Structure 1
Amino acid sequence: MSQAYDSRSQQAFAAAVCRVMRESRRRQKLTQAEVAQRTNGLVSKAALANYETGHRSLRVDVLWVIAAALGEDLGALLSAAERNVATRPSPYGTGSITVDVHEVMASPDPRLSVVKRWFELRANSSPTMTLDEGAIAALAALMNVRPDECRRLLLTSSRTRSPQPHAANGV
């Protein structure tokens, strides 16, 4: 893996592992209680919920037990998580973006509810908002999606679709 080992990429990988775990459970139509039961008491339902949401750090020995309970190969699970955080060019660009606040607020997409709430809390009367890479990454984390997916959702819900590669005073 050639990606730099900084705290942001470590956090992204940890979140991706949790997401892959949760997706496996949901794909198999298993409840958290059922997976916890399959661990023979080694992982409680509450602990599993905290691991899946990233509210609790996941040790490798616990991940191994959960992967076995899900019937997943640990290496395949980790590879899937790594693929989710691998840097790849996005068709929606990089850098800052400017979005039409009213268009985003009017979007029926439920994944944007966190963004809408954030816009409300900012109490900014401007019809547009420029979001830098940090703001996009933070919103993506709150939405539980990758930054490129957050960028895509914002740009497709807004009329203003032009990336701003070097905005000096973005959010």
Structure 2
Amino acid sequence: MNAEDVTRAAGLELRKARIDAGLTLAQLCDRLPSRIQVPTLAGYETGHRSFTVGRFVEICASLGRNPAVVILAALRRAKAGVGTVVDLQALARAEGADRAVLRQWARFRLETDQDGVVVIDTSTLREMAVLCGMPPAELTRTLADFWPS
């Protein structure tokens, strides 16, 4: 993984968010306070053009997306090894007896993690798996259902 991989992945995530919002490149450009041109935005989305953090945040805001969630998805796409990302609000509402420990943990974390999104590193994930009585790979698959949107 290098900076170009992350830039390309971030652009792909912006493109995905734009398409999910049902917007064309031109429509999104019209929404941006900076009023960038379509070829510039297209360059960001394809990774052929770098962008500043400020521009990234501006685009995310215009799409109604949390920039932290979008960049985490990009890092995951770029295989940057960011860990397991979890939406605590969604996990705290999870149903099923097999998720009781995870629900309790999410509710506890929400008391201190106001943004509601956490990244769980590998060693913490292993410890949580022991508490949940499941292999780490199974816990990873379970937590994948709670990726922030």
TM-score, normalization by structure 1: 0.44
TM-score, normalization by structure 2: 0.50
Q: Which has more radius of gyration? A: 1
Instruction: Give the structure with the larger helix fraction.
Output: 2
